[in-house]
Structure 1
Amino acid sequence: MATLGRVSEPTTGHEALLRARQRAALLPDLLVEARRVVATVTTGWHGRRRRGAGENFWQFRPFVDGEPVSRIDWRRSARDDNVYLRDREWEAAQTVWLWADPSPSMLFQSNDGLVSKESRALVIVLALAELLSRSGERVGYPGVLDPVSARNASERIAGALMTSRPPAGFPDIERFRRFSEVVLVGDFLDPIEEIVDRIDAAAKRGVRGHLVQIADPAEVSFPYHGRTEFRDPETGAKLTAGRAEAIREEYRTLFDARRTLLADHCRHLGWSHVFHATDRWTSEPLIAVHGRLSGLPQAAGARA
């Protein structure tokens, strides 16, 4: 039997409590894994460097008409025929909200997946919290932890998730303030219209977003053969395919179309989109998202 598709929240209090305990038991190991991943990718990194108000020198760049003459660095300009400005590095802390989809569909793990989608999403979130807090950013988790500026932000998020159950569904956008950023990590298997409406609402509030779409390898390739029974864990409904391979191409077409639509819509909003399958290295989406947060351009069709 195969299980694909959106799974609802546990239907009983016992199931919800059991899942909360399972997540709490996993979080210490996931925090260790997040810090290990961070340690492998941070060599030579210097945080989210941006031009702005501050005291530290960042770079020289050519003077453009209309900019303040007081910022011209005459010593550097004297070396050749160009006029250069001296830029400083932005030092004001910015709020970044991090969120991992708590939907039970994130528990899915096939034989080809290294971990469940939930475990991978939480490691990405905790690793980002570790990186951003080192850069002096304010980091928060909707419904779990208000934004904090602390070096141990990843540990505080992990602790909060161990003792409190994350709110079901998409995070409350009312908590997001203008000019803040949000990183949403999930499988995004809700109806596509609902997802688009939610990210549109956040974008209208002046929030800059980054979607990390997580998928299990089986959800990408649909490797099933012969008679296969698919079960919808939300409703319990079952679908039996006499020859599962006969619907493989149609499934892949629909899956790719959803992924492309999300990526295109994010690009239209000025948001970023990264696709990641759980048989790939965790460092790949981490580097990609950190680059987007740092303002680096996103390549068309980017995949991690």
Structure 2
Amino acid sequence: MAAIGEIVRRTPTPEVLSRAQARAALMPDCLVEARRLANTVIAGWHGRRKRGIGENFWQFRPYVTGESLSRIDWRRSARDDHTYVRDREWEAAHTIWLWADLSPSMMYKSALGTVSKESRALVILLALAEILARSGERIGCPGVMEPVAARNAAERLATALSHSTLADDGLPRTEMIRGSSDIVLIGDFLDPPDAVMERLGPLARRGLRGHVVEVADPAEELFPYAGRTEFTDPESGQKLTAGRAETLKDDYSRAYQARRATLADGLRHLGWSFVAHRTDRLASEALVAVHMYLSGLPALRAAEAHR
């Protein structure tokens, strides 16, 4: 009976299959836009380099007592009164897991948004995969694609997502992730912050370095509704009818911003980064911000590099 139950749980429902087909139809345009975006912003980036044992020169830095004398660059040191070490770049590929929330709430697009939240999340996801793959990183997607180190990682990821029929509950399964890695989570994160942190906390304790991108439609922030308005929950189908929607705006805005602030504060306590992004803004803004955190760059330097 347990085996039968497992089969039932893994069999995609008609709704899940329909969502997968819609996502597959969306994927080619998202991949084209992601590549355009990657080509636009990659010129100002220089990879996620760090000190290590590779062959490529990275930088000179002052010698520290206790280091091997064989690492001293005597020619550079002869130019002034200081002793310098020649650092090389770490060449071992790093594993970065990329995930986007593809649950029904991500399909939302208001008249104020340029694209749906799902479309924007996929573009950011695939653009990250494109750029990180060019830097030699290993790219994976929890439950969808095992990590690969390949120049066409973005295309592979798009194909894997097009064929995925996994039901999405708003956060990924991560039992397949081993060792120290980075994980980038892109979604709307509209669940209560406590519930989100309950899922993310164990990942941080396992050593994962996390980066969360909250994608929001401008209407979700601005609440531009007035008069009689019917609101529908895309996850549960529940409806709420407001006779004068404008009277709800202040309370809604306070609750919405409090949820975001609580989530951001909880993530900071885990040592994770948080980026809030709206679909009426340029996708490159979120892309640069995430890359900043992945690279360990200060905000000012990242902004200057992008310009």
By how many angstroms is 1:70 displaced?
A: 3.0
Which residue is 2:43 aligned to? 43
Q: How many Å separate the matches in 1 of 2:246 and 2:101?
A: 30
SS of the residue corresponding to residue 256 of structure 1 reads helix
By how many angstroms is 1:76 displaced?
A: 1.6
Q: How many Å separate the matches in 2 of 1:245 and 1:227?
A: 9
Q: How many Å separate the matches in 2 of 1:277 and 1:185?
A: 12
Q: How many Å separate the matches in 2 of 1:30 and 1:232?
A: 26
Q: How many Å separate the matches in 2 of 1:224 and 1:297?
A: 38
Question: CA contact under 8 A between 2:16 and 2:167: conserved in structure 1?
Answer: no
By how many angstroms is 1:167 displaced?
A: 4.1
By how many angstroms is 1:243 displaced?
A: 2.1
How many residues matched?
Answer: 289
**1:48-127 equivalences in 2 (<5 Å):** 48-127=48-127
Question: CA contact under 8 A between 1:102 and 1:166: conserved in structure 2?
Answer: no
Structure 1 residues 284 and 135, CA gap change in structure 2 (3 angstroms): same
By how many angstroms is 1:119 displaced?
A: 0.5
Worse-superposed segment, 88-97 or 72-81: 72-81
Structure 1 residues 53 and 166, CA gap change in structure 2 (3 angstroms): farther
Which residue is 1:274 aligned to? 275
Instruction: Compute the TM-score of the two structures, normalised by the length of structure 2.
Output: 0.89
SS of the residue corresponding to residue 175 of structure 2 reads helix
Q: How many Å separate the matches in 2 of 1:235 and 1:226?
A: 24
Question: CA contact under 8 A between 1:34 and 1:123: conserved in structure 2?
Answer: yes
Q: How many Å separate the matches in 1 of 2:284 and 2:211?
A: 16
SS of the residue corresponding to residue 262 of structure 2 reads helix
Structure 1 residues 208 and 254, CA gap change in structure 2 (3 angstroms): same
Q: How many Å separate the matches in 2 of 1:126 and 1:200?
A: 26
SS of the residue corresponding to residue 56 of structure 1 reads strand
Which residue is 1:196 aligned to? 197
Q: Where in structure 1 are there 5+ consecutive unaligned residues?
A: 1-11
How large is the RMSD of aligned CA atoms in angstroms?
1.8
SS of the residue corresponding to residue 146 of structure 1 reads strand
> If each structure's helix is expressed as a fraction of its own residues, which one has the higher value?
2
Worse-superposed segment, 86-95 or 261-270: 261-270
Q: How many Å separate the matches in 2 of 1:66 and 1:44?
A: 36
Q: Where in structure 2 are there 5+ consecutive unaligned residues?
A: 1-11
By how many angstroms is 1:80 displaced?
A: 2.0
Q: How many Å separate the matches in 1 of 2:141 and 2:167?
A: 11
Question: CA contact under 8 A between 1:20 and 1:165: conserved in structure 2?
Answer: yes
